[in-house]
Amino acid sequence: MPESGQPSSTVNRPLWVIAFALVTIAFCLIALVASRQIVSEPVAESQSAPPVNEDPGAEPTPQPKPKLAIPVPRTLHSTVIAQPSPPAEDNQPVTPIVNADLATPEPIQPASAPIPTGGFVPQNGSGRVAASSALAGFITVKGSDTLVVLAQKWAEAYMGKRPQVRIQVIGGGSGVGFAALQNQTVDIADASRPIKPTEIAGSIKAFGKKPTEYVVAIDGLSVFVNEANPVKELTLDQLAGIFSGTIRNWREVGGSGSPITVYSRENSSGTYEFFKEHVLKGKDFAGSAQTKQGAALLVRSISKDKNGIGYGGAGDTRGIRALGVKVNAISPAVVPSEKTVLNQTYPIWRYLYNYVNAAADKDEIHAYLTWIRGAEGQKIVKEANFYPLLADLQSKELRTESQEVTQARR
């Protein structure tokens, strides 16, 4: 029997080995497939990320691990949009700043263009008028508010004759004009009073010489009241009392029993300084005085106030009435007119001036100043309700302050 069982044991052993080998191979294949699927899942998830970004409102497909991959591309994308790269951010503002600094000044406009109402052009880098402005046909004038209307009329007439010239006129007060002349931001300073010693010193310090002084017109400094006011005349002493505040009611000078409203100019005005020196004899104005910026505003205020009183140039009399002025109680009252101012019977009169840097008093500026004092310029003086220069003054340039004070007090 053993011989018969031997072949049976030999045949069964290879079948078991084969079966074991097949099972081992099967497990290996399963493990390999499983490992490949695990490695390939993040790739699949990253490939599916763009559709999620493109359609933020869509419901995401439930998956085991995609939620870890979705926020990453979104975070990187929003950062790029909200925070531009530094080079772009740094370069953007640089170009206009450099261009603005290096830009050349705009060319002077032709004479037919409107005259600007403010500022001084052309200017150099320091803010001062370029030295060649007058040579290029651009003249700037600044100063007395009393003179501003007359100066504008002069400028318009002169530019009509010489279209290549542009003249800019600005008010602000005589003191403002002198300051601009010292700062060399203006060619001509208008003034309703002579230049002060301190202003002369400032000019010498600024440009080495005393400014050249031109007398350009004569003005009778009027004292204004409302047309409804019954008072017709006052003495110089009464005027000093009213404007200094010692006389406060119209009854004290022959008027109604109403309180007096005093109107005055700003302290930078040459008219303010002249009136204070020659009428108030250096005393301060009343503390209750209402200060008005410019002659036109002062006149307008008095025209609306029946108890008002003020002072200004002869060209400012529209809509109000100028009082007769008496030197003393027994002298006749004199109203300002061309005759009474020129023969000096009206007691409050003055010269009006142009001042210019002596070094700049040439070419177009000198031609303009000569024209102002000539027949055509003096005709415009009369049209503006000021008084033209006498023939002997039209050729004179300089006058001393002592001469001015002496003549004003006659």
List the CATH code of the domain at 138-219+351-408. Answer: 3.40.190.10
Q: Residue 43 has what pLDDT?
A: 40
Task: Check whether 98 has a pLDDT greater than 50.
Answer: no
Q: Residue 314 has what pLDDT?
A: 66
Q: Residue 310 has what pLDDT?
A: 96
Query: What digits encode the pLDDT tens for the residues 121-149?
Result: 333 333 344 343 444 589 999 999 999 99
315 or 57: which leads in pLDDT: 315
Q: Residue 136 has what pLDDT?
A: 52
SS3 call for 4:
helix
Query: What digits encode the pLDDT tens for the residues 365-375?
Result: 999 999 999 99
Domain spanning 222-335: CATH superfamily: Periplasmic binding protein-like II (3.40.190.10)
267-289 burial, b at 16+ Cβ within 10 Å, e below that, comes to ebbbbbbbbbebbbeeeebbeeb
Name the pLDDT band for 37 (thresholds 50, 70, 90).
low
* Best CA proximity match to 405, nearest among 351, 324, 343: 351
Contact indicator for 381, 219 with CB cutoff of 8 Å: no
Contacts of 314 (CB under 8 A, 6+ apart): 219, 220, 221, 222, 322, 336, 341, 385, 386, 387
Q: What is the mean pLDDT of the chain?
A: 75
Q: Please compute the mean of the pLDDT values over residues 294-306 and round it to a whole number.
A: 91
User: What percent of the chain has pLDDT above 70?
Assistant: 64
87 or 373: which leads in pLDDT: 373
Structural domain spans, the chain: 138-219+351-408, 222-335
DSSP β-bridge partners for residue 265: 292
62 or 27: which leads in pLDDT: 27
Q: Residue 15 has what pLDDT?
A: 73
SS3 call for 219:
strand
Q: Residue 26 has what pLDDT?
A: 76
- Please state, in angstroms and as integers, the Cα–Cα distance from residue 159 to each residue in 36, 48, 85, 155, 164, following that order: 95, 79, 57, 6, 7
Match 């403002």 to its residue by tokens. 176
- Please state, in angstroms and as integers, the Cα–Cα distance from residue 309 to each residue in 244, 275, 334, 341, following that order: 12, 14, 18, 21
Name the pLDDT band for 360 (thresholds 50, 70, 90).
very high
* Best CA proximity match to 121, nearest among 106, 100, 110, 142: 106
Q: Please compute the mean of the pLDDT values over residues 308-314 and round it to a whole number.
A: 89
DSSP letters along 279-325, please?
TSTTPPPPTTPEEESSHHHHHHHHHT-TTEEEEE-GGG-TTSEEPEE
Query: What digits encode the pLDDT tens for the residues 227-238?
Result: 999 999 999 999
Query: What digits encode the pLDDT tens for the residues 265-290?
Result: 999 899 999 999 999 999 999 999 99
Name the pLDDT band for 331 (thresholds 50, 70, 90).
very high
Query: What digits encode the pLDDT tens for the residues 100-128?
Result: 332 333 333 333 333 333 333 333 333 34
The distance from CA 198 to its chain's CA centroid, rounded to whole angstroms, is: 27
Q: Residue 274 has what pLDDT?
A: 93
Task: Check whether 57 has a pLDDT greater than 70.
Answer: no
DSSP letters along 69-119, please?
TSHHHHHHHHHHHHS--HHHHHHHHHHHHHHHHHPPPPPPPPTTSPPPSSS
Q: Residue 394 has what pLDDT?
A: 53
Q: Please compute the mean of the pLDDT values over residues 313-325 and round it to a whole number.
A: 79
Query: What digits encode the pLDDT tens for the residues 199-228?
Result: 999 999 999 999 999 999 999 999 999 999
Task: Check whether 327 has a pLDDT greater than 70.
Answer: yes
For residue 35, give both structure tokens: 């490992």
Q: Residue 33 has what pLDDT?
A: 61
Task: Check whether 154 has a pLDDT greater than 90.
Answer: yes
Domains 138-219+351-408 and 222-335 share a fold: yes
